[in-house]
Structure formats: structure tokens, C-alpha cells
């Protein structure tokens, strides 16, 4: 067959499709693909016709190949989503929604149908996730708010026990949980009250591996238990006090050196519980990016205690001040040790840095405070991540990070320094790319990535809890067939609905 004849065959297939003669059109498309196997448009059209003929699995074969060749083509993405939904595979359909949104083709109908498909598979958490996404796109869908509440009444009950530093780093996770579960916080003062709340819950979350986690782990096991360890707990005695056999999951926010410290205390912990490392996330909506020019203001964001090693940043600034006296250091945070405050104040004077190092205290409005800053530095001897640095990067500040154990895992090698001379070289370098620093956080440490991991954990636990419930207590067929659940359903799409897009 000549190329001209083949092209005519493809056009004939399009005309047959318009006429609703799908089987004959399919013959034309498949003949065309014999000579042009990588024609993404022809693969898309073939998949669409297969869909119209009710051959969903074969449709997916062609559409997946088309998507591999042209992943951003709107009609291919749309058709693939429709085929996934028809095949009862909402998980794969939902994975394409970001692409649909990017292409401007997402709508509430397809999201709501995906939610219903998740409900049909008794995946309540994913169903709620879809409804929340649909509401975000069109907030006036009041029926969906009611539906979310109905599903939430069937999801796990979650209890949160905050020890040590309270709800620091927990706000975004709490917001996520409250949208999907009934959540209660421990406000008691004794083990009996703790036990009562654990008995009420299906999942108990212990924030910080300290006193409450240790006490809760020693009570009779009545629910699934999660402990989240940040950093400093691994260097204290608390992990050795925990009955890890009663803990279903340990979430670690720290790097491998934090885990090494934990294993020194509890060498056999990995045989007693499951461990997952999930870094803390930066909520990028809260930190305003500014594509700022290179300047001479350095910020040190931290509540000051010995582990933050402020003495070293003063040594670094003394060296930098000798080279260029225009550089300024702004220390933002509370001193948690008066002796340390005395030392820092004394050394600022002793090193001749008065007027060049500023103790600004804790800052409520970080965005405004960072507006005129250019670098964010840390000299900590250990960190789980260094959230102050990551938040500064999100705003466009260049990070200058002392090479603490685990720093290379978190930041890579390019932003690290070992000695004060290296610090000066990092600051004085002409390399300054604010958008690069913001993207680093977006790609590695956004709170959306963190919440996606948390979502996976709770979705799996929800499925396990459901499987343990009896048929009378479970969601089961009754909920799927109820009038309320039917409210989520939108008009079903007829099998030839793809013809509006694939042409």
C-alpha cells in the first residue's frame, strides 16, 4: 500500500466513525497502524472506537500506547480516563486528573463518577478525596458536602495524642484527617482517660515519640497505633520505653542518621513494627515566592538552643565581615537557654559584629520578614530536615547549610559547607537562582507529597479496618445502594461519548 492510499484509508476510517459504523472504521484504523505503528492520533482513534464497541480492555491497550507517545495530548488523556472508569479502575483514572487539570479539560462530572467508582470498590478515603477535589473545582455542589459527611460516618475514628512540642508540624495533617475522619484530641491527664480515648478510636496517632507514646503503647491494644518520631526523640530515652509490639507503624521524619540513633536504642525495632520515612512537608501556599536579586542579608531561622550551634554562625559571620562588611545576619527565633543568649550576645560584641548581627526574636509573619532577605543559613549539628531552611528556600532564598549528619541526603552536596571559609565562598558566589530553590522544595518537600503518603497509609488502614468489621457493621452493599450514595452518581456516560473528543 502506498502512503497516499494508506492516508486515504485513515480518512475513510474517520468518515465511517462519523457515520457510526465503528467496526468498519476499526478495520481502516488497524490497517493504517500496520504501516504507522507510532501514530499517536491513530492509536487514540482506534482505542476510542474499541471503547464504543464495548471492548474496553483492548481500548486501554491502544490508548496507553498513544499516551506513552503523547502524554500531554488532551483528547488522549480524556479517553484514557473514560476507559479506566469503564473498566472499574478508578485508581489509574485519578492519577491522570492533574494532567487533565493542566490541560483545562477536568470537570466535576468525571471526578464525581470517579468517586462513585471508588465507592463501588468500598474505598471510602479515595471516594472522599475525589469529592473534595470536585468541591474545590465547584464549591456550590452542596449535595457533595452531605455525601462526604455520610461517608465520614463510616470511616475510622482517629484519636491524636500530642506529646512534647505539641502540634508543631501537625496542622496540615490534622486538616487532612478532619476532612475524612472524625478526629478527637487527647485532653486528659491520666492513663485511664488515655485508654478510654484509644478504645473509642480505630486509629490512634501519637505525635512525638515521647511520654504519651510510651504510655499508650503499654496499654492493652484496642486500635491501630501510629507513632511519629521527628528527630530529637531518637537521642533521648523514650524510644526504649515504647512497647513496639503494640505499634502498627512508626513514621520517621528524620534522615538515616536519626534512624541510626534510634537503632542504637532499640536494635530489634524493625522486627517489631513497620517503619516508614515520610519527610515533613512545606505548605507552599503559605510561603510567598519572590524572584529577588542577589543581596547581602542572611537569615538564621530557628529557636535557639545548643543543637542549633549558633556559635558557629557567629564565627562564619566574623570571617565574612572581614571580607565584606556590608553583609548582615538576622537571627529569628526565641532563645530557649538564657546561658546561650548570654554567650551569643557576648560574642557579637567580642567579634566586633555589633550592628551587623541582629537578634530579632520569633517572627509571626515569616513572609514579610523574609521579603528583604537573600540567604537562609543553618549551622545545626543535627536536623531531621531543617524546616526553617526549606521554608526560606520556598520564598526564594539561597540555602547555606552546615554539613551536619544527613544534610547531603536532604539538600544535596551543592548547598553545603564544612568550615567558615566554605560558608563565605557560598555567600560570595555569583550563583544565585531563586526559582531553583523554590522548585527544589516543590519537587522534594511539598506538603502535598507528604499528605499523599499519609493518605496512602490511612487508606490502607481503612481497608484493613473494614475487612475486620462484620457484614452488619460494615459499609457493604447497603451503603452502595442507599439513596444518599446515589446522590453522588451523575448521569452515566454512554459508550459513544468519546466520539466528541477523539476526532
The answer to whether 130 and 437 are in contact (CB under 8 A) is no
pTM of the model: 0.84
The reported pLDDT for the residue numbered 8 is 76
- Please choose, from the candidates 342, 282, 340, 343, the residue with its C-alpha nearest in 3D space to the C-alpha of residue 307: 340
The structural architecture, per CATH, of the domain 284-444 is 3-Layer(aba) Sandwich (3.40)
Kindly give the residue spans of alpha helices, DSSP state H, lying in 36-73: 40-52, 56-69
- Please choose, from the candidates 245, 128, 230, 136, the residue with its C-alpha nearest in 3D space to the C-alpha of residue 179: 128
Q: How many CB atoms lie within 10 A of CB 99?
A: 20
Query: For residue 40, which phi and psi values (nearest 5 degrees)?
Result: -60, -35
The answer to whether 126 and 91 are in contact (CB under 8 A) is yes
CA distances from 264 to 201, 215, 238, 296 (A): 32, 21, 13, 43
The reported pLDDT for the residue numbered 473 is 53
Fold match between domain 155-281 and domain 284-444: yes
Query: At a CB cut-off of 8 Å and minimum separation 6, what does 375 contact?
Result: 297, 298, 299, 397, 398, 399, 400, 427
- Please name the fold of domain 3-151: 1.25.40
Helix, strand or coil for residue 275? strand
Half-sphere CA count of 239, side-chain side, radius 13 A: 27
The reported pLDDT for the residue numbered 435 is 97
Calpha distance 216→219 (Å, rounded): 5
Calpha distance 307→283 (Å, rounded): 25
pLDDT in tens, the chain (503 residues): 344 445 677 889 899 988 989 999 999 999 899 889 999 999 999 999 999 999 999 999 999 999 999 998 999 999 999 999 999 999 999 999 999 999 999 999 999 999 999 999 999 999 999 999 999 999 999 999 999 999 999 999 999 999 767 787 899 999 999 999 999 999 988 999 999 999 999 999 999 999 999 999 999 999 999 999 999 999 999 999 999 999 999 999 988 999 999 999 999 999 999 999 999 999 999 999 999 999 999 999 998 999 999 999 999 999 999 999 999 999 999 998 999 999 999 999 999 999 999 999 999 899 999 999 999 999 999 998 999 999 999 999 999 999 999 999 999 999 999 999 999 999 999 999 999 999 999 999 999 999 999 999 999 999 999 988 754 454 444 444 443 343 333 333 333 334 334 33
Helix, strand or coil for residue 377? strand
Helix, strand or coil for residue 176? helix
The answer to whether 343 and 311 are in contact (CB under 8 A) is yes
Calpha distance 234→277 (Å, rounded): 14
The reported pLDDT for the residue numbered 401 is 98
Strands lying side by side in the sheet with 224-229: 182-185, 157-162, 203-207, 224-229, 249-252, 274-277
The answer to whether 281 and 451 are in contact (CB under 8 A) is yes
- Ramachandran sector of residue 328 (left: φ over 0; alpha: ψ -120 to 50; beta: rest): beta
Superfamily name with CATH number, domain 155-281: Glycogen Phosphorylase B; (3.40.50.2000)
The angle at the Cα of 317, spanning 313 to 319, to the nearest 5 degrees, equals 120
Calpha distance 197→184 (Å, rounded): 8
Please report, for the chain, the start and end positions of each structural domain, with discontinuous segments joined by +.
3-151, 155-281, 284-444
Amino acid at each position: 500500500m502506498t502512503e497516499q492510499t494508506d492516508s486515504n484509508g485513515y480518512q475513510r476510517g474517520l468518515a465511517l466513525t462519523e457515520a457510526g459504523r465503528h467496526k468498519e472504521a476499526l478495520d481502516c484504523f488497524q490497517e493504517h497502524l500496520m504501516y504507522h505503528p507510532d501514530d499517536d492520533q491513530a492509536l487514540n482513534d482506534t482505542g476510542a472506537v474499541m471503547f464504543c464497541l464495548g471492548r474496553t480492555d483492548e481500548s486501554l491497550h491502544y490508548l496507553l500506547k498513544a499516551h506513552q507517545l503523547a502524554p500531554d495530548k488532551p483528547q488522549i488523556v480524556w479517553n484514557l480516563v473514560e476507559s479506566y472508569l469503564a473498566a472499574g479502575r478508578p485508581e489509574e483514572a485519578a492519577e491522570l486528573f492533574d494532567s487533565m487539570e493542566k490541560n483545562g479539560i477536568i470537570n466535576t462530572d468525571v471526578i464525581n463518577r470517579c468517586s462513585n467508582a471508588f465507592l463501588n470498590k468500598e474505598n471510602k478515603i479515595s471516594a472522599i478525596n475525589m469529592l473534595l477535589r470536585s468541591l474545590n473545582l465547584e464549591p456550590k455542589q452542596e449535595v457533595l458536602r452531605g455525601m462526604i459527611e455520610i461517608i465520614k460516618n463510616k470511616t475510622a475514628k482517629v484519636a491524636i495524642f500530642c506529646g512534647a512540642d505539641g502540634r508543631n508540624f501537625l496542622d496540615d495533617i490534622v486538616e487532612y484527617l478532619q476532612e475524612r475522619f472524625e478526629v478527637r484530641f487527647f485532653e486528659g491527664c491520666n492513663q485511664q482517660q488515655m485508654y478510654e480515648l484509644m478504645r473509642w478510636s480505630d486509629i490512634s496517632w501519637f505525635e512525638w515519640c515521647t511520654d504519651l507514646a510510651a504510655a499508650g503503647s503499654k496499654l492493652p491494644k484496642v486500635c491501630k497505633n501510629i507513632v511519629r518520631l521527628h528527630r530529637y526523640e531518637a537521642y533521648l530515652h523514650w524510644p526504649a520505653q515504647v512497647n513496639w509490639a503494640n505499634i502498627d507503624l512508626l513514621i520517621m521524619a528524620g534522615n538515616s542518621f536519626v534512624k541510626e540513633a534510634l537503632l542504637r536504642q532499640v536494635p530489634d525495632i524493625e522486627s517489631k513494627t513497620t517503619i516508614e520515612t515520610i519527610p515533613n512537608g512545606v505548605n507552599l501556599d503559605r510561603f510567598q515566592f519572590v524572584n529577588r536579586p542577589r543581596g547581602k542579608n542572611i537569615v538564621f531561622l530557628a529557636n535557639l538552643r545548643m543543637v542549633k550551634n549558633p556559635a558557629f554562625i557567629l564565627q562564619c559571620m566574623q570571617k565574612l565581615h572581614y571580607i565584606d562588611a556590608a553583609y548582615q545576619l538576622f537571627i529569628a527565633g526565641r532563645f530557649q537557654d538564657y546561658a546561650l543568649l548570654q554567650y551569643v550576645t557576648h560574642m557579637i560584641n567580642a567579634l566586633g559584629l555589633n550592628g551587623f548581627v541582629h537578634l530579632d526574636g520569633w517572627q509571626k509573619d515569616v513572609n514579610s520578614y523574609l521579603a528583604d532577605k537573600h540567604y537562609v543559613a543553618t549551622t545545626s549539628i543535627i536536623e531531621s530536615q531543617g524546616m526553617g531552611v526549606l521554608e526560606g528556600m520556598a520564598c526564594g532564598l539561597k540555602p547555606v547549610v552546615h554539613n551536619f549528619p544527613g544534610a547531603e541526603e536532604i539538600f544535596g552536596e551543592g548547598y553545603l559547607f564544612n568550615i567558615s571559609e566554605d560558608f563565605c565562598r557560598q555567600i560570595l558566589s555569583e550563583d544565585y537562582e531563586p526559582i531553583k530553590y523554590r522548585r527544589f522544595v516543590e519537587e522534594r518537600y511539598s506538603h502535598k507529597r507528604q499528605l499523599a503518603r499519609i493518605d496512602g497509609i490511612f487508606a490502607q488502614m481503612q481497608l484493613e479496618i473494614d475487612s475486620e468489621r462484620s457484614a452488619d457493621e460494615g459499609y457493604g452493599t447497603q451503603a452502595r445502594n442507599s439513596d444518599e450514595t446515589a446522590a453522588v452518581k451523575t448521569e452515566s456516560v454512554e459508550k459513544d461519548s468519546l466520539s466528541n473528543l477523539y476526532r
